[in-house]
Amino acid sequence: MFRTLDGVAQRAGVPVQGLARLVLKELADNALDAGGEVQVGRGAAEREFFVQDGGPGLHGTDEEIAELFSIRRPLTSSKLLRQPTCGALGNGLRVVAGTVLASAGDLTVSTAGRVLRLDPQDDGSTQVERAGSWSGTGTRISVTFGPGINCVLALGWAEQAQFFTGGEPYRGRSSAYWYTSEAFFELAQAAGARTVRALVAELDGCTGTKAGEVAAGFAGRAAIELSRDETDELLARARAAARPVKPERLGNVGRQPDLPDAYARRTGTFKVPLHRGPHAAEIPFVVEAWAQSASAPHLCLLVNRTPVPAEISFGRTMKDKTCCGLKGCGLSEEQRGIATPVQIGRHGDFGTWVNIIAPWLPKTNDSKSPDLSALAVPIAEALEAAVRQCRRSQRGPGRRSVKDVVLGVLPQAIETASDGGQQRFTQRQLYYTVRPMVIAETSEAPTWENFCNIVTAKEADDGQDIAGMMRDVRGLLYHPHTHEEIPLGTIAVERYERPKWTFNKILFIEKEGFFPLLIAARWPERHDCALVTSKGQPTRAVRDLLDLLGETDEEITFFCIHDADAAGTIIFQSLQKETRARKARKVRIVNLGLEPEEGLAMGLPVEPAEYARTPAIADYVSDAWRDWLLTQRIELNAMGTADLLAWLDKKMAAHAQGKLIPPAPVLDEHLISSVRERVENALTERILREAGLDEQVADAVTELAPTLQRRSAKLHREVARTLAENPVARWTEPVEEIADNLVNNHLQVSEGGAS
């Protein structure tokens, strides 16, 4: 398949005319992944091109480097290691070597002080000849294409990949959560003679001593020796040792000076279904979109910052002139011709770019074109948001609304409120920074509610919250067994880590007043259920917390209770469904009630409900009960404490899974660590008792008494000086530092005398 141009083109998924562009793109992808400054351009000879990186260079013998550029090169673990890199989807160096072989071209690699002339052979090997020395850094690869290759626009894709190198890269490792059982077994097989521990150390959260803990029991074994059951066990251990990688950690290209200003982002995850084995995979992704006015609609698709060499169609649909249809790479049902619709409006067309960052994507065929069917909705949403921003920016000064002005001055206001990015700030501080700017231009002040709505819509379009901005604390989280109470605000949710194997349920309660009742009755402990409230409608922090808990590897069930009134039904709906601030919860929220028919059946007192205007009522409510809720309501507080506890117990018995019992490996590990801790404590106590620790401590303190007396005379002055130099310190810190020095000096002198 790699010995003829038609075969290479078939394997690469491009026509023969596109092979030069693909070869240089593949080399540019590898160079960008290697790091350092990357250069692409034409060489001195006709039909010669080069790609050079500033990375560490290629190490190994001449023959080992030649093997990298052979068409028989075996699949390696590095290719199966899932990472959001430029080369994640490519056919790699086999396409390069195959194109050179099939077109009778030339290939030269300059790296690590030498220039190597490589000659791919029909038998799959590559001959190598040292052609001189090289004083450059990194690696420079020169390709001269044979006469059968079209070199027009050969550098197009490579230059485009180079263009999207800005922004924030992913700085982590491959995650155990990104592999199905099958994929992890294949990774182990490709790792060959490498040890299990070395393979585990490649995973996020499993480096250092953790690698040894995860690989315990597999000491000295090669990864290729593992059975499927053993790789399943190893994958489960690796997941237990680390947390899933949030989509935001994948990085982004973001807003760049040379890219259109209209920019939007969407993030999320998609699941990879099971075919064999117990472990499914969950893949995080980031979708970025840019838009600018154009004479006709067009789209450039990139994956991990590099162009996708596949046909993508983006044009006005015949039926709906406000839409563009998106086809290709699984974004349409090709057999029925149904394209993914993207709303861009009736007037004006837009040039658009979409970059998808993901550690792995399914493929549509052998040529490795990505199957983006799972991302059709976020791609369309990001494009629509970018187009909306582009339309807003096109409005003339005379037509600018308060919303347009707020969005226009927001970057400057954020810069001011954050002191140039040095400080965090509240949403209300940002509002009072924006307010005079808007008044100066429109003679109209934005209301607080309108400002919050504008900011929320902008964050939804951008796919991320405004960096550095904090929202008010309006909520509380209670952990069973540990009895922690955590106020819920921006910073608390950012820093939150779920305690391992402490609860498998969480109950949202509309009213904070119920917390003391449930805690006093030990209800959270009896049900292994955390409690959360936001004093009314769920805040963004509460919804973010639910999303965060839903992303952990431990199973958890979410419940909600509320009054039987219009607002109560909306509390449940806003927890579960999409809001302007956040997408719908990925986890399912179980609505326990109270519902009107239930309250009436229990004989609870009914109160009249009066509203100045028709209240919002959740979609799940039937028409009959909708009419009832317009005039009547029943409160949870109508139940006494005993009745409330009995009602909740009955609800949990119907919907929950009983007490939390971790899986066998967790129980075993906890038993072993508990035994070790108790043995260590008992032995420590015995050894210290036999050594006469108390007497030794008393003697040492007596010997230090004169020194302590001398230091006491100047202690106040030393503490004052330290606090002046470090104002964030507490007075105890310099005192304890002095104590450390005194004790260390005393022990060193004592040991010297003893020796």
Tell me whether residue 670 is in a domain: no
Dist. CA 283–CA 270, nearest whole Å: 5
Based on the fold, state whether residues 129 and 233 are members of the same structural domain.
Answer: no
Whether residue 349 lies inside any domain: the answer is yes
Q: Does one domain contain both 529 and 462?
A: no
Residue 338 in this model has a pLDDT that exceeds 90? no
Residue 61 CB-half CA count within 13 A: 5
pLDDT given for residue 485 in this prediction:
82
Separation of alpha carbons 32 and 307, rounded Å: 13
What mean pLDDT, rounded, does the chain reach?
Answer: 84
Rounded Cα gap, residues 176 and 207, in angstroms: 12
Judge whether 171 lies within some domain.
Answer: no
Give yes or no for a contact between 300 and 16, defined as CB atoms under 8 angstroms apart.
no
pLDDT cut 90: percent of the chain above it: 19
pLDDT at 179: 95
* CATH number reported for the structural domain that contains residue 441 in this entry: 1.10.10
Contact 587, 539 (CB under 8 A): no
Q: pLDDT per residue over 144-158, tens digit each?
A: 999 888 888 888 888
Q: Which domain holds residue 615?
A: 476-655
3-state percent helix, strand, coil for the chain, nearest multiple of 5: 45, 20, 40
In a domain, 687, yes or no: no
Beta bridge partners of 268: 285
DSSP 108: E
The whole-number pLDDT of residue 61 equals: 92
Give the best-scoring range by mean pLDDT among 389-398, 592-601, 660-669.
592-601
In the predicted model, is pLDDT for residue 62 greater than 50? yes
pLDDT digits (tens, 9 = 90+) for 66-116: 988 888 876 555 667 899 988 766 567 888 888 999 899 999 999 999 999
Same domain, residue pair 464 and 516: no
pLDDT of residue 486: 79
Instruction: Looking at the structure, tell me whether residues 541 and 503 fall in a common domain.
Output: yes
Residue 585 in this model has a pLDDT that exceeds 70: no
Residue 705 DSSP SS3 = helix
> Averaged over 324-353, what is the pLDDT?
77
- Give me the mean pLDDT over the 180-207 stretch: 91
**Quick one: 495 exposed, middle or buried, by C-beta within 10 A (0-12, 13-18, 19+)?**
exposed
Q: How far apart are CA 407 and CA 3, in angstroms?
A: 56
Pairing of strands 632-633, 607-608: antiparallel
Together in a domain, 601 and 503: yes
So what's the pLDDT on residue 752? 62
Residue 376 has pLDDT above 50, yes or no: yes
263-277, 528-542, 662-676: lowest mean pLDDT where? 528-542
d(CA 75, CA 350): 41
Q: What is the DSSP string of 520-565?
A: HTTHHHHHTEEEEE-SSSPPHHHHHHHHHHHTSSS--EEEEE--BS
Query: Per-residue confidence at 346, pLDDT binned at 50, 70, 90?
Result: confident
Contacting residues for 693 by C-beta, under 8 A, at least 6 apart = none
Task: Report the C-alpha gap between 174 and 206 in whole angstroms.
Answer: 10
Cβ–Cβ contacts within 10 Å for residue 691, how many? 10
Please check whether residues 389 and 401 belong to one and the same domain: no
Q: At a CB cut-off of 8 Å and minimum separation 6, what does 465 contact? A: 459
CA atoms of 685 and 682, how far apart (whole Å): 5
Q: Rounded CA gap, 252 and 582, in Å?
A: 19
Inform me whether the pLDDT recorded for 582 exceeds 50: no
- The region that residue 151 occupies, defined by phi over 0 for left and psi between -120 and 50 for alpha, beta otherwise, is alpha
Neighbours of 123 (CB within 10 A): 10
In a domain, 666, yes or no: no
Q: How confident is the model at residue 427 (pLDDT cuts 50, 70, 90)?
A: confident
Domain assignment of residue 106, yes or no: yes
Neighbouring C-beta atoms of residue 99, cutoff 10 Å: 29
Angstrom distance (rounded) from CA 436 to CA 429: 12
Domain boundary pick from 163, 186, 208: 163
CATH number at residue 40: 3.30.565.10
**One domain for residues 63 and 159:** yes
Distance between CA 707 and CA 711 in Å, rounded? 6
pLDDT band (50, 70, 90) for residue 318: low
What sign does the CA torsion over 576, 430, 406, 378 have? negative
What are the tens digits of pLDDT across the range 470-505?
766 567 788 899 888 877 766 667 677 788 888 888
Residues 440 and 505 in one domain: no
625-629's contacts with Cβ under 8 Å and 24+ in sequence apart are: 625/595, 625/596, 625/597, 628/596, 629/564, 629/565, 629/566, 629/569, 629/596
Q: Same structural domain for residues 617 and 501?
A: yes
Percent of the chain at pLDDT > 70 equals 89
Q: What is the pLDDT of residue 713?
A: 85
Residue with tokens 């970018």: 386
pLDDT at 345: 77
Check pLDDT > 60 for residue 580: no
pLDDT at 42: 92
Condensed to tens digits (0 to 9), the pLDDT of residues 399-418 reads 567 888 888 888 888 888 88
Alpha carbon 470 to its chain's center: 20
Same domain, 348 and 427: no
Distance, in Å, from the CA atom of 336 to the CA atom of 15, rounded to the nearest integer, reads 26
Angle at 437 between CA 432 and CA 441, to 5 degrees: 145
Query: Among 50-59, 242-251, 289-298, 614-623, where is mean pLDDT lowest?
Result: 614-623
The number of domains in the chain is 6
Tokens of 68: 């990298």
Give the ranges where 13-119 is alpha helix by DSSP (H): 19-34, 62-68, 77-80, 93-103
- Using only C-alpha atoms, what is the Rg of the chain? 32
Between helix 664-690 and helix 228-241 the angle, nearest 10°, is 60
- Among the candidates 214, 244, 274, a domain finishes at 244
Q: What is the full DSSP assignment across 722-749? A: HHHH-TTS-THHHHHHHHHHHHHHHHHH
Q: How confident is the model at residue 511, as a pLDDT?
A: 72
Query: Considering the domain boundaries, does residue 660 fall inside one?
Result: no
* Helix, coil or strand: residue 191: coil
Instruction: Using CB atoms within 10 Å of the CB of residue 243, give its burial: 0 to 12 exposed, 13 to 18 middle, 19+ buried.
Output: middle
Banded model confidence at residue 393, pLDDT cuts 50, 70, 90: confident
Q: What is d(CA 296, CA 568) in angstroms, rounded to the nearest whole number?
A: 48
Query: What CATH number is attached to the domain comprising 574?
Result: 3.40.1360.10
- 733 and 720, same structural domain? yes
pTM comes to 0.62
Q: Would residue 663 count as lying in a domain?
A: no
Query: Is 16 found in the same domain as 147?
Result: yes
CATH number of the structural domain spanning residue 368: 3.30.230
The two structure tokens encoding residue 521:
């009755």
